[in-house]
Amino acid sequence: MSPSPRPSDAHPPDANKDRDIRTARPVRALQRVLSTALNSYATVLLLGVLVVVFSLATPRFLTAENWQNLLITQAVVACLALAAILPLVAGEFDLSIGYLVGALAMLGAFIAQAGGGAVEVIAAMIGGGVLIGLVNGILTVYFKISSFIATLGVGIILSGAALGLSGGQVLFSNIPAALTNLGSGHFLGIGTTVWLALVFAGILLYVLEHTPFGRRLYAVGGSERVAFLAGVRTGWVKIAAFVGAGLLVAVGAVFALGQSGAANPGFGADLLLPAYAAAFLGVTTYRPGYYNVPGAIVAIVLLAVGFNGLNLLGAPFWVQPIFNGAVLLLAVVTARAESRHVKVG
């Protein structure tokens, strides 16, 4: 379909007669390596550049303490980005994840305040996340509502529920110690929640790329009709994607509650866009053109490093969103310029 074949596809029949082409080959190979690197790992390169620049610019950047803080603030966003990826792979949006993380944290704090222990609190949060995922999936699959609208509606309801549970207050009393220990704990100098987020990322990576379910998920996202005709239970696959998203959001909510030791009724909604920005930015990395886990993780670290470095250099508070948005647009535009096969959104 693409009019010009790629250079690697075929060699000109008279290439051996042409000396210029022969001498040009090593140069071309190098170009190819560079173009692959730029194509698949532009964000990694950018991350490297930022780390070097910030390290040279300020001595406070490359310290253990700074990196601990930098990473631990990203554990919750990482869970939400992973949650966003699952429905995106299946060709659906879940806009409820921001409100859901706030509502679940509030639910946990509410149960704790009412005397619940760590087990009850965590079970309720996980159960709530799975339930909302199921609702999102059923609305999308059985009621055939566009997931964009269905999950937005569910999210708005959740924001009201969170306000109701809170009674307009920040809930902080009687949060189980197991949770707060999890939030403040360290292992090898890095926050426990960061390690756990990476474990969940690893699990999701494995599920998406190495299990039949993951392949079916990509197939449904590629063409639901084709997958259906190939015998895939497309409805189940989509519902499972939403349930998985709800589960990952619940994990993020547990981390958030543990880290801050309190639940704020306004928490969550503003995490939606950073999570999606990371998922979209990830499309330019690792497996260009597809939503993928390693890409999203690199994107999260990239955005966090950018914010942290600019902060240390004394940039004003409003620079972060501008930096995030600019990086997202720049990365996607560069990736498109490099490869027309990349599709985003």
Partner 1 sequence: MGVAATSISKSFPGTRALYRVDLSVGAGEVRALLGANGSGKSTLVRILSGVYQPDEGSLLIGERRISALASPNEANALGIAVVHQESPLVDTLTVAENIALFRGYPTSRGRIQWRTLRRDTRELLERFGIDVDIGTLGGLLSPAERALVALAIALDRVTAGLALLILDEVTASLPEDQARTYLEQVRMLAAAGTPVLIVTHRLSELHGLATHVTVLRDGIVVHQAEAAAVDDESLVRQIAGVEHNEPETKGPPDTAQAAVRLWVGGRRGDDRPVLEVEHLAGKLIHDTSFTLRGGEIVGVGGLAAGGIGELPLLLSGAAARRGGALRVNGREISPHASPRELIGAGLALLPADRLRGGGIASLSMSDNVVLPDARRYWHKPRLERATLQHLIERLDVRPPSPDALFGSLSGGNQQKVLLGKWLMLGPSVLILDDPTSGVDPAARRTIFSILREAASAGLAVLLFSTELEQLVALCSRVLVLRDGAIATELAGGGLTRESVTKWCYA
**Taking the C-alpha atoms of 282, 285, 288 and 290 in order, what is their torsion angle to the nearest 10 degrees?**
-30
Q: How far is the CB of 324 from partner 1 (least distance, A)?
A: 27
Q: Is 23 in the site for partner 1 (CB under 8 A)?
A: no
Nearest-angstrom CA–CA distance, 145 and 151:
9
88 or 272: CB nearest partner 1: 88
Nearest-angstrom CA–CA distance, 53 and 41:
18
Q: Is 345 in the site for partner 1 (CB under 8 A)?
A: no
Among 11-19, 76-84, 248-256, 264-272, which window interacts with partner 1 (CB under 8 A)?
Answer: 11-19
Contact 296, 81 (CB under 8 A): yes
Residue from 34, 229, 326, 333 touching partner 1 (CB under 8 A): that is 229
202 or 222: CB nearest partner 1: 222
Q: How far is the CB of 246 from partner 1 (least distance, A)?
A: 24
Nearest-angstrom CA–CA distance, 326 and 277:
11
Q: Is 230 in the site for partner 1 (CB under 8 A)?
A: yes
Q: Is 36 in the site for partner 1 (CB under 8 A)?
A: no
Q: Give 216's contacts (C-beta < 8 A, 6+ positions apart).
A: 227, 232, 237
4 or 23: CB nearest partner 1: 4
Residue from 67, 195, 228, 323 touching partner 1 (CB under 8 A): that is 228
Nearest-angstrom CA–CA distance, 280 and 296:
8
Residue from 104, 132, 232, 241 touching partner 1 (CB under 8 A): that is 232
Phi-psi region of 31 (alpha: psi -120 to 50; beta: other; left: phi over 0): alpha
Under rule CB under 8 A, which residues in 196-225 are in contact with partner 1? 210-212, 215-216, 218-219, 222-223, 225
- Judged by CB under 8 A, the number of residues near partner 1 is 35
Q: Is 2 in the site for partner 1 (CB under 8 A)?
A: yes
Residue from 127, 261, 289, 321 touching partner 1 (CB under 8 A): that is 289
Q: Which 3 state secondary structure label does DSSP give 232?
A: coil
Among 4-12, 73-81, 123-131, 132-140, which window interacts with partner 1 (CB under 8 A)?
Answer: 4-12
17 or 225: CB nearest partner 1: 225
Q: Give 211's contacts (C-beta < 8 A, 6+ positions apart).
A: none
Nearest-angstrom CA–CA distance, 63 and 74:
17
Nearest to 195 by CA among 75, 39, 49: 75
**C-alpha separations of 176 from 97, 103, 187, 192, 250 in Å:** 24, 18, 20, 17, 17
Q: What residues line the site for partner 1 (CB under 8 A)?
A: 1-13, 210-212, 215-216, 218-219, 222-223, 225-233, 289-290, 341, 343
